[in-house]
Structure 1
Amino acid sequence: MYTRYRHQKELEMSDRDSTSASQTEGEFEEEMDGEMDGEMDGEMDGEMDGEMDGELEGDGEIDEKQRDSPVPSLSSFSSSLRAVIRIKQKYKAMKMRRQEMVLGLAGAGVVAGAPARTSPKIFTFDALTPSAFPTLTSSVPQRKKKRRRRRVLFPNRGGCRAPPKPAPSRAKYCLYLLFAIVFIQVYNAIENLDDHVLRYDLEGLEKTLRREVFGQQGAVEGLLSHLKDYLSTYVHNKPLVVSLHGPSGVGKSHLGRLLAGHFRSVVGDTLVLQYYVLHHCPQEADAPQCARNLSTLISEMVERAEEEEKIPLFIFDEAEHMHNEILDELWELVASKQSNEYLNAIYLFLSNLGHAHITKHMLHNSSSISMSMSATIRHSNLVKELTPVLRNTLEKLHQLWTEADILPLGLLEKGHVMECFLDEMTREGFYPDHTSIERLAGEIEYHPAVGGHQYSLTGCKQVVAKVNLL
């Protein structure tokens, strides 16, 4: 039977007219060779011979017709293909019956060596239950079912669902309240600073110094800057110490008198001290006693100022004549970490210490000073170049100047001296004649002219005396 089947397939492969049909038969022949060689053993020979003889009787007639006909037609090829398909289906059905027979023998407990049943058994699902063949179910591995992932459902785009609104937090209102409190505190602090500065009327002091002091606008601006920074608040970590240095007649004592008069009008006479060393302590032997008296006076003034919540002013003129005992006592008051009342105070020292350095510097650098430069720029350059030299000189004299801010005062030119004469003549009631002013200014001694600048040797020191002779 199998030989006839092979011979039939070889005849079908010889047909070259239809390419697609030959490829289909060749693939099926290879498949059937592999399956039937493995599956058709001795047990199934009888069944296969009986059943395939019946199936191929009709097919044989078709094959003989195809041999007789010189060219096979498309109808004969389709009938043979259908026959092959039926053979394949029949083979699958016999394979299923064989598996059913094996399972039935295992379930009935057939003794080994007994003749096997040769009659086919009808395949039904009723007799096959998992309990009937436990050995098979245990030997066959169960395939795990795949978990179906849940589909992510998105809302329809056509819908107008609004996102959920978060619940309002109460902490937001607390935050707003905190911002309001901080704003009020800062605003109140700024207002208090303005009130504290307005108490000392620094704007009025600035107008007075610019009007009354000649040729020292840069030094005036530097002094006012220190006062504004210090008086803007009442709480400090150290007192303000400023030391003004310059040659004779440049306006140091005049500047001290203007400051004393302004602060007396603001804080009162009891909180302003003008200390002239040659007047209060002329003898060196009295220096220890003078130092103790000065310390007691300063302590009383700072305690009174603390009660009134004001800042006192101490002006020490002619500081170059101060004795070491007085300087030591002042250094202890300035540098030591005492109570709060000693930290809220202003110390102003006026002296001509280091005047030689200032004079030499201005005479040697007058040619580089341009007339177009403002007074502020000229003074800033003077401070930048002279401060290290003056501080080195003053620290050798006493350690008090290590705690001080040094401001040098420059030499006065002839134009500044003429302004001094004009102001003094106006005060004394004289007519400010320009010819008289030039004549009086010409009687003053001057340094040799350098770079178009003519500096006075004595500044405005002789102005009052010459005006009184008119």
Structure 2
Amino acid sequence: MKAVQIYLWLHIILTASVPVNTFNPFGKMFDGVKNLWQKIYNPDESCDSKWISFNETGLQVDLESKLFGQHIASRVILKAVNGFMSNDNPKKPLVLSLHGRTGTGKNFVSNLIAENIYKEGMDSSFVHVFTAELHFQHKRKFEIYKAQLQQWIKGNVTNCARSMFIFDEMDKMHPGLIDSIKPYLDYYHKLDGVSYRKAIFIFISNAEGDIITQTALDFWNEGRAREEIELKDLETLLSVSAFNNNSGLQHSRLITKHLVNFFIPFLPLEDRHVVQCVLAEMKARRLQPDQNVADQVARDLVYFPKSERVFSVRGCKTIQSKLDIYI
């Protein structure tokens, strides 16, 4: 039987056999299928050093060579992840909140973290991704989502203490939902016999992008290099804005109880960073990097403010499709 037929068969069986009230944050047991699928085609993956081993050098090289224009994020993430993964007895889970405009590298850097911790990277059964518009669509199911989310995290951390949970589109999540997992992010040794201290939680949000952009514009207007912007210039602004705005962290106890380790800004990208993205994409496709092509792709993107064309509206988000036109 072909692989795709097996996958579809598993999907149908699991979807049809799960009761309506059974925990299922994906609506159709997608992660259940994913995990079972991985056990069939990767039956040996287990929660041990063979499959989970942090590569500090690999993460550093990836951040330096693949993430462009994000000196704050690169520095903070490397130190935060390295410090956490090298600690055999952390006091609490690592919680990172990534903020910035679309296309600036927030999801990308989450992938880099996973790839340098888990042998299977983002395909690991110990990495779990939630998106607000897909997994938490209906406001009327708010209480169900809360209970399901708690069960999902408890079950997976019980299975592997070094689990990673990525919550995308935090700016579209119902306020209060993420607080349902607050106990798991706190300084508890164990809860019901389960320790959550070695887990990693990453929140990704496009909100607060205007605050970050304004700060970058202020530095640009003053003739100061963007590399002069420091975490302290933005972190408090980000946490206050996230707390007050209508998003998943609005009035969140994760903020008032200081359970988010870092609020990390992703700066808007300039033309030179877009060029770097294009050259990196060409290299990834095993093409000969062409500076002229990279310059052309970058020139054809939309920038703001319109008169100065300082920052790319979509960052590097559309680079892959744009590059197809020129090669």
Give the TM-score normalised by the residue count of structure 1.
0.51
* Aligned residue runs from structure 1 range 250-261, under 5 A: 250-261=104-115
* Aligned residue runs from structure 1 range 67-82, under 5 A: none
Residue of structure 2 aligned with 1:326, choices 177, 192, 209: 177
Shift, 1:251, TM fit: 0.9
Aligned position for 2:296:
439
Aligned position for 1:281:
136
What do the CA deviations read for 1:150-202 (whole angstroms, capped 9, x no partner)? xxxxxxxxxxxxxxxxxxxxxxxxxxxxxxxxxxxxxxxxxxxxx9xx93111
**Hey, which of these two has a bigger chunk of strand by percent?**
2
Aligned position for 1:212:
66
Aligned position for 2:154:
299
User: 1:200 touches 1:266 (CA, 8 Å); kept in 2?
Assistant: no
Amino acid at match of 2:151: T
Aligned-partner SS, 2:202: strand
Aligned-partner SS, 2:97: strand
* Aligned residue runs from structure 1 range 216-227, under 5 A: 216-227=70-81
Aligned position for 1:124:
none
Partners of 1:337 and 1:325 in 2: how far apart?
21
Aligned position for 1:398:
251
What do the CA deviations read for 1:263-316 (whole angstroms, capped 9, x no partner)? 33179823221222222223333333232222112112211224xxxx222111
Does residue 465 in structure 1 map to residue 308 in structure 2?
no
Aligned position for 1:345:
199
Residue of structure 2 aligned with 1:455, choices 311, 314, 317: 311
Aligned-partner SS, 2:116: helix
* Aligned residue runs from structure 1 range 93-108, under 5 A: none
Aligned position for 2:281:
424
User: 2:208 touches 2:241 (CA, 8 Å); kept in 1?
Assistant: yes
What do the CA deviations read for 1:425-464 (whole angstroms, capped 9, x no partner)? 33335443322221211111112489x9822122112212
Partners of 1:313 and 1:207 in 2: how far apart?
21
Does residue 203 in structure 1 map to residue 36 in structure 2?
no
Aligned-partner SS, 1:270: coil
Aligned position for 1:362:
216
Aligned position for 1:385:
233
Does residue 317 in structure 1 map to residue 317 in structure 2?
no
**Hey, which of these two has a bigger chunk of helix by percent?**
1
User: 2:184 touches 2:196 (CA, 8 Å); kept in 1?
Assistant: yes
User: 2:53 touches 2:119 (CA, 8 Å); kept in 1?
Assistant: no
Question: Which structure has the bigger radius of gyration?
Answer: 1
Q: Tell me: higher relative CO, structure 1 or 2? Use CA pairs within 8 A at least 6 residues apart.
A: 2
Amino acid at match of 1:433: D
Shift, 1:262, TM fit: 2.8
Identity of aligned residues (%): 26
Aligned-partner SS, 2:267: coil
Aligned-CA RMSD value: 2.8
Shift, 1:226, TM fit: 1.0
Gaps of 5+ in 1: 1-194
Give the TM-score normalised by the residue count of structure 2.
0.72
User: 1:270 touches 1:301 (CA, 8 Å); kept in 2?
Assistant: no
Aligned-partner SS, 1:279: helix
Partners of 2:287 and 2:138 in 1: how far apart?
41
Amino acid at match of 1:394: A
Aligned-partner SS, 1:365: helix
Partners of 1:353 and 1:422 in 2: how far apart?
29
Shift, 1:370, TM fit: 4.0
Distance 1:289 1:336, change over 3 A: farther
What do the CA deviations read for 1:237-284 (whole angstroms, capped 9, x no partner)? 222211111112111111122222333317982322122222222333
Amino acid at match of 2:251: H
Shift, 1:213, TM fit: 1.0
